[in-house]
Each structure stands twice: as C-alpha cells, then as structure tokens.
C-alpha cells in the first residue's frame, strides 16, 4: 500500500517581502485608479450639472420673454379689437345718421313738391319688411300741415287688423312691439316724424291691414284715421 507524501514548499524571507510588496502595490494601484475614476466621474457630473443649470436658466429666460411677448400681443390684440369695435360702432352710428338725414332731406323735398298734402295730420310712406328671425320691421311717417307751422305734440295709435284662429281681430302695436312702453305714442314734430319699430306676429294670425290713428292731445276726436293694406316690401 502506497503512503501519501506531503510536499513542503520553502519560501525565503525575500520572497515573502516581495509578495507583500506586490499586494500592497496592487492595492495602492486599485485605490489610485478608483480615486482617479471617482474624480473624473465627479468632474463630469458637476460639468453636466452646470450645463443643465445654464440650460434651465436659458429656458427660463426664454419662457419669461415669451410670456411677456404673449402678454404684449394679447394686450395689443385687445386694444386693436377694442379700437376696431369702436370704429365699427362709430361707422354704424355715422351710417345711421347719414341715412336719417337722407330720409329727412327726401321728405323735405316731397313737402316742397307736394301741393296736395291735406291740411292737419296725415300719414305717408308706410313700409313693412320681414327680417331673418321672422319679425316685421315697420316704418311710417306722421305729417302735419297747419297755417302756422310750429312744433306740436301728436298722439298716435297703431293697430294690426287681421284674422286669428278664423276670427277677425284688431291688435294694438303695443302688444306686438316690446319697445313700445307707452300707448298712445307721444310724437312731437313740426313738419314730420319718422317712426320705426319691430313687430312679432302672434301664432295663427293672418295680417290684413294696418290702422293708424292720429290726433292732437287737446282734441277728443281723431284728426286722422286710416287703414293701410298689409304689404311686405321687396
């Protein structure tokens, strides 16, 4: 039977020192490399952080500038819109004024040419137009001719005559025009008065005539009472 023999390796003191020195060298190298890598990594991270901080500041400044620019644009837009709306309203008022003056000029010319205008009160130029929403835009002119032409007060009553649910009816304009707060109407004029309004017809109603009554407040009887056929212009 074979016997196991142990192997004995002999190390000299010099070899032991060399081994220890090598281990220490490796350890120091590892520590140095780790420190160097850590320093480089830290430097890189700090550099990246600094760049990010600069980018954030730049973006923040850009956003602030853009917000200020947007505020200026909005303010300018509101100012422009307001100025445009004011101009539009002024143009509308001017157009209405011009239209009114044209109407008055036309009526004055008609008065000069009309030798057949009856004395006292009369009505001329009744116009009816249908709007897109179904309401009726009406316009009529009250006139007067007296020996001494002066501004006088006149009471006016308007009625819509027609058939409702198969029955003849006469409806006051006050019941059809929401803008009429007082009835009879109180007019005050010297030569003529141009009057306008909007009517909303009741359901199941067929208009046939417009009745207009005019009188002076100090007289009980009407000086003018006439029916005009319901005729839509255009």
Please say if the pLDDT value at position 228 is more than 50: yes
Looking at per-residue confidence, does 85 or 63 come out higher? 85
Q: Quick one: average pLDDT of 208-228?
A: 95
- CB 226: neighbour CB atoms within 10 A? 14
Please say if the pLDDT value at position 11 is more than 70: no
The predicted pLDDT at position 1 comes to 47
User: In sequence order, which ranges of the chain are alpha helices (DSSP H)?
Assistant: 13-113
The predicted pLDDT at position 213 comes to 97
Provide the pLDDT confidence category of residue 126 given band limits of 50, 70 and 90: very high
Whole-structure pTM over 0.75, yes or no? no
pLDDT tens across 69-116, in order?
Answer: 777 777 776 766 777 777 777 778 777 777 767 776 776 676 666 667
Q: Quick one: average pLDDT of 206-216?
A: 96
Angstrom distances, CA of residue 208 to CA of 17, 26, 200, 203? 132, 118, 15, 15
Phi, psi for 6 (deg, rounded to 5):
-85, 145
Q: Quick one: average pLDDT of 187-202?
A: 91
Please say if the pLDDT value at position 8 is more than 70: no
Angstrom distances, CA of residue 209 to CA of 153, 158, 163, 173? 26, 11, 10, 12
Please say if the pLDDT value at position 132 is more than 80: yes
Q: Quick one: average pLDDT of 13-18?
A: 65
**Lowest-pLDDT choice from 31-40, 68-77, 124-133, 205-214:** 31-40
pLDDT tens across 134-177, in order?
Answer: 999 999 999 988 877 788 999 999 999 999 988 999 999 999 99
Question: In degrees to the nearest 10, what's the CA dihedral of 110, 222, 157, 103?
Answer: 10
Phi, psi for 5 (deg, rounded to 5):
-110, 130
What percent of the chain clears pLDDT 90, i.e. is strictly above it? 37
The predicted pLDDT at position 87 comes to 72
């Amino acid at each position: 039977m074979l016997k196991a023999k142990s192997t004995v390796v002999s190390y000299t003191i010099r070899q032991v020192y060399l081994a220890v020195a090598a281990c220490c060298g490796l350890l120091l190298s590892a520590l140095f490399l780790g420190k160097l890598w850590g320093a480089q990594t830290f430097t890189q991270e700090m550099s990246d952080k600094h760049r990010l901080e600069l980018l954030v500041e730049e973006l923040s400044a850009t956003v602030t500038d853009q917000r200020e620019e947007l505020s200026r644009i909005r303010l300018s837009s509101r100012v422009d819109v307001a100025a445009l709306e004011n101009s539009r309203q002024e143009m509308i008022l001017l157009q209405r004024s011009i239209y009114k003056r044209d109407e008055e000029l036309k009526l004055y010319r008609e008065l000069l040419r009309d030798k057949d205008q009856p004395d006292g009160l009369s009505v001329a130029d009744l116009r009816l137009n249908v709007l897109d929403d179904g309401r009726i835009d009406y316009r009529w002119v009250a006139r007067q001719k007296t020996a001494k032409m002066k501004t006088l007060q006149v009471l006016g009553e308007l009625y819509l005559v027609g058939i409702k649910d198969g029955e003849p009816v006469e409806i006051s304009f006050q019941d059809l025009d929401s803008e009429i707060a007082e009835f009879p109407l109180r007019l005050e004029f010297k030569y003529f008065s141009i009057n306008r309004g909007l009517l909303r017809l009741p359901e199941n109603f067929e208009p046939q005539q417009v009745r207009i009554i005019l009188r002076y407040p100090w007289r009980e009887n009407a000086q003018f009472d006439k029916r005009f056929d319901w005729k839509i212009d255009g």
